[in-house]
Every structure is written in structure tokens, then in C-alpha cells.
Structure 1
Amino acid sequence: MNKSVRVYIFLLFSLFSLNSKLFATAQASDILILENEIKELFTNPLGQLFLQKEEVSNKFSKIFSNYKALISSACWRGYIAKFVIKNDCLYIIDIFITIPISPKDKSKLFDTEEISIFSELFEADIPVVCDFFTGVLTIPQGDMINYIHDGYLSEFEEYILIKVNNGKIIEQGKYNLENYKNKKHQAFERFYGSAKCNESWNFIKNNFEDIVEENSKKEILKDCEDLYLYDFYEF
């Protein structure tokens, strides 16, 4: 993967929540094991690791290229990561990429296979604590109420939100859809009047001037949940 493209993708996925309308395609979620149950995770903690540690993002890029791994419109980040919460800490336990393989059906150009690159990337065979991650994990619950073909915008009956500071769980709550949407809206309004909002918008404009417009400021920022949930959401 070209380095500039890789950095662009990781920056987008870290800075812009996957809810952002910039993606315009529903995205495959990461996975979280919570209380021995497998959950979808509408947050991508590895984005922060790749931004913080260039050597790790370079290593991922090299592994990705060596395997000739594939990116799809349903997973622009190019991987699915698997996490677990244990002893009030968030750990990564696996990371998968999709690679092309020779097809059994000779009429096809190729088939695909999902492989783990956890040991190659982290040089470990045991869970790795996510001390690089500070943010809010969003976990949908129950039935899907409204499918939206865009990022993580589809709506579910309930949500679990877990606040994480340097990999440690510090707060969490469970909300029905209406309560979740109301509290998220309130968090955004507090953020929108803050200095952090102005700093974030200036950063976005400076780095993505070709794809953002001033009159879209509120709409774009509202979809960037990573910018305001941690500091402004009241659990």
C-alpha cells in the first residue's frame, strides 16, 4: 500500500469517526469480546496506534503489501481487529487481513481468505494492552432499527458506551436508542461551542481542504464522534 494513501486512510479513520458521510458505505466493524459475548465494535482503536507509532504503521504497511492484501469499500481500513476487556483493561487479541488465493473454481480470477497477522505485527502470542487508546468504545445492542448504508450510521435498539483512558476502563453506560441520540446530541452541542471544536476544524481544513467546505462544518464535525464523545458525553 502506498505510504501516502495508508497515512491518509489511517488519519481519516482516526480523526473522522466511521460515521462520517465521507465514506458513504457501511463499514465492517471491529470485534469486542465483552462479558464472554462477541459484540460488534463501532470504534476502531488501532487508528490511534498507527498514528502514534510510525514504526507500527510502517510494519503493518509492509505486511499488508507482502501478502498483497485487499481493501474493499466495506472495510477501507484494510483489517478487522479483535479486542477483549479483561480486568478493566482493553486488550487487542487478533487482527485479520483479507488476501487473494488461487480459486477452486477456475472460472474465477481469485478467491479470498482471511488470515491473522497478530503475531507478525505485535511480535507476541498473548493479548496486548491497548495503552495507546483513549476514547469511547461504542457497542450496538439488540435489533437493527434503521439500516443506513454509510459508515456506522445504522441504528440499533440499544448502545453500550465504554470510556477508556490509556487502555483502562474508567466509565460505562447502557442506553436505549432515543437516550443515546439525545445524549450524543447534547455532547456535540457542548463541543461545538468549545475551543477544541475550533482547533479540530482548523486541523481538518488544513489537512483535507480539497474535500471539506466551510458551510459543511457542523455536519462534518457532528459525524466525527471521536472528537467529542470522550470529553463531552455525560455517562
Structure 2
Amino acid sequence: MTAQISETLIYEDQKLSMCSQPLDYWLCTAGKDIDFQSTSTACWRGYTGTWKVINDRLYLASLSGTGRNGSKLRMKDLFPDHSKGVFAHWFSGEVRCPFGKMLDYVHMGYGSTFEKDLYLTFKKGMLVAKRVITNGVGKEGDPEGYGVAAFTTFPVDKSGSQ
């Protein structure tokens, strides 16, 4: 598996990379026929979202993805009554947001290690805990911030070939 493009989290006026997928549980349990299609090896889930923490509540603010027939899917397609954002009441779990210099690149999922990880714990969409883990100190010249590095992706055309 290729290193994956992160989702975005706006938290305390900072734009962070999210190495978690809070929408997954909703997609599995919503009872809707929504099937995202991957158009890149760097995004197997087939969508990217922007999330915000507002007053200790997690919101999905925007979403962009590709449907099984190649159609573009947006927030209004999943949440017709909440096209400008939806409270993530379905999500209980931990969100990992790495930051600082990259210490170790792993060409798989969200496996790379950075100087620090911010962990935000949510229960039914409400922020209940946060912690920062220090993983080490990067060297001069190490890349800063989360980014998918050292690989090439090829979009998949409608016939399924690359």
C-alpha cells in the first residue's frame, strides 16, 4: 500500500494533517448506497475531507470524492441537509495529527513518523482528551510537516487501466 494523502483538520486556528478517517464508521453504518472509487494509489478511500473542531465538537466541513461511476461526490451528496458541515456525532475514537520534521518515511498508509503527534480523543463527536507525544528531533534539512513523499501515482481512467 502506498502512503496515503491525509485529510485536513482545523484545530485551534491551525491547519493539521489527519492520519485518521472519522467518516469510515458513518460510511459503514449509514445504510446509504455510497461507494467511493479510488482514483489514485495515494488515496484508496476515494475521498478527502476537511474537518474542524469548534467548541470541542468535531465537524466534517467539506468533502470531495469520486463515486463508483466516476461522478464527483460532495458534502450535499452524503448529507443533503448539511452541505456546509455536519457534526460528527457518529465518531468515537482517536484522531492522530503528526507535525514537525519527518523522522522516518514509511511507504504504507499513515506509517511515517514525525517529531510529534497530536492525539485528539472524541466520544460521540465531542473532544474529551488531547495529548502530544514527542517521537524525536529531526535533523537539519529533514522535510517538515506531513506530506506524501517519494512515490509516483497514476490516475485510473474509466476503463480501469493506468
- Classify the TM-score, shorter chain: 0.7 to 0.9
1:17-53 CA distances to partner (integer Å, 9 max, x unpaired)? Answer: xxxxxxx210111110111211100000000101121
CA distance in 2, matches of 1:70, 1:144: 26
Q: Where does 1:18-167 land on structure 2 (aligned, <5 Å)?
A: 24-55=1-32, 58=33, 60-61=34-35, 70-97=38-65, 117-123=74-80, 124-167=82-125
Are the aligned partners of 1:71 and 1:77 in contact in 2 as well (CA < 8 Å)?
no
Aligned-residue RMSD, C-alpha: 2.1
Higher helix share: 1
Query: Max radius of gyration: which structure?
Result: 1
Moved over 2 A (4+): none
Are the aligned partners of 2:4 and 2:108 in contact in 1 as well (CA < 8 Å)?
yes
Change (3 A) 1:171 1:82: same
Higher strand share: 2
CA distance in 1, matches of 2:121, 2:17: 16
The alignment covers a number of residue pairs equal to: 133
* Cα deviation, residue 116, structure 1: 6.1
CA distance in 1, matches of 2:14, 2:119: 16
CA distance in 2, matches of 1:154, 1:166: 28
Are the aligned partners of 1:94 and 1:116 in contact in 2 as well (CA < 8 Å)?
no
For the residue of structure 1 that corresponds to 2:60, the secondary structure is: strand
1:114-142 CA distances to partner (integer Å, 9 max, x unpaired)? Answer: x6601222112332100000100000011
- Show structure 2 runs of 5+ residues with no match: 137-162
- Show structure 1 runs of 5+ residues with no match: 1-23, 100-114, 179-235
Identical counterparts, % of pairs: 29
